[in-house]
């Protein structure tokens, strides 16, 4: 078998080169599905911030934020599109997962503010519904971390 010189790979060698963490076996199929699903949700939410749900997202901006509500909604929408796209790309999964989890923690005060100030949006038209929504942030944080973590290589017996 003839060996290719360094830097001059053959087509067969390129096809066998891992292209992402998932290809390298660093994440499971379930983790990949979770990461891609969460990425899609973030991109959709970001687009909705910029377009059809913009007014509803304004209800979540806490009164103490020193930036105009609309600017805050537009900026958070752009961040969500960026983070969702990064999750979808598979680039630097562990770092991106941590940043996404931190983002979910950072926007949580907006959810609390919506509840505390009795602001209706997205069908959350009672205090009970707004309160019930608060724990839903935990699965988002957990999915961001779990879906981007390296798969354990040891088996438990």
**Residue 10 is assigned to a structural domain of this protein:** no
CB 143 within 8 A of CB 34: yes
Is the model's pLDDT at 135 over the cut of 70?
A: yes
**Residue 12 is assigned to a structural domain of this protein:** no
**Residue 8 is assigned to a structural domain of this protein:** no
**Residue 142 is assigned to a structural domain of this protein:** yes
Taking CA atoms, 157 is separated from 132, 151, 154, in Å, by 38, 16, 10
Residues of the chain above pLDDT 70, percent? 80
**Residue 36 is assigned to a structural domain of this protein:** yes
Is the model's pLDDT at 27 over the cut of 80?
A: yes
- The rounded distance, in Å, linking the Cα atoms of 43 and 144 is 14
CB 32 within 8 A of CB 143: no
Question: Residue 127's domain spans which residues?
Answer: 26-146
**Residue 40 is assigned to a structural domain of this protein:** yes
Task: Please tell me the total count of domains within the chain.
Answer: 1
Tell me which residue of 31, 69, 59 sits closest to 147, measured CA to CA: 31
Question: What value does the mean pLDDT of the chain take?
Answer: 86
The pTM (predicted TM-score) of the whole model is 0.79
């Amino acid at each position: 078998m003839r060996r290719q010189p360094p830097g001059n790979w053959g087509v067969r060698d390129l096809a066998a080169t891992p292209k992402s963490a998932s290809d390298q076996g660093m994440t499971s199929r379930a983790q990949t599905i979770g990461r891609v699903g969460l990425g899609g949700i973030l991109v959709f939410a970001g687009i909705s911030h910029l377009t059809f749900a913009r007014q509803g997202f304004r209800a979540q901006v806490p009164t103490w934020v020193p930036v105009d509500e609309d600017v805050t909604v537009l900026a958070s929408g752009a961040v969500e599109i960026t983070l969702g796209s990064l999750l979808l790309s598979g680039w630097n999964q562990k770092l991106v997962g941590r940043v996404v989890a931190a983002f979910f923690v950072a926007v949580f005060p907006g959810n609390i503010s919506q509840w505390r100030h009795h602001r209706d949006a997205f069908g959350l038209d009672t205090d009970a519904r707004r309160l019930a929504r608060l724990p839903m942030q935990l699965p988002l944080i957990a999915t961001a971390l779990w879906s981007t973590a390296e798969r354990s290589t040891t088996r438990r017996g």
